Amino acid sequence: MVSLKSDSKQGVAIVKSVNKDGKKVIEEKKYLTPEKHGAIKVDSFNAFNLIVKAEDGYIWIFNPFDGIRTVPLLADEKAYSATTSEL
């Protein structure tokens, strides 16, 4: 699970670009979750869309091209707000 070192309630997705042999990080981007629900981990994925879940069960979609966004929910589930926030 991943969160900021300075704030364990702030989830963060980290995207690293590496060289061809995968040994050197060329670029690193960090995307904050829109709300503080604790560290996040990948729960499942479909192509480039990763479903990330916070410690308290809150869920977002993370796409390395779009950032973090709302998960489409069933009618009986709580609606989650989400916007992308890049450090």
Kindly state whether residue 20 falls inside one of the protein's structural domains.
yes
- Which among 69, 64, 66 has a CA at the least distance from the CA of 28? 64
Task: Kindly report, residue by residue over 10-46, the tens digit of the pLDDT.
Answer: 999 999 999 999 999 999 999 999 999 999 999 999 8
Q: Is the pLDDT assigned to residue 80 strictly greater than 60? A: no
Kindly state whether residue 51 falls inside one of the protein's structural domains.
yes
- The tokens 């973090």 sit on which residue? 68
Kindly state whether residue 69 falls inside one of the protein's structural domains.
yes
What is the C-alpha separation between 44 and 65, in angstroms, rounded? 17
Kindly state whether residue 79 falls inside one of the protein's structural domains.
no
The distance from CA 26 to its chain's CA centroid, rounded to whole angstroms, is 20
What is the C-alpha separation between 38 and 49, in angstroms, rounded? 20
What is the C-alpha separation between 77 and 63, in angstroms, rounded? 22
Where is pLDDT greater, at 35 or 80?
A: 35
**Model pTM?**
0.72
Residues of the domain holding 51: 12-73
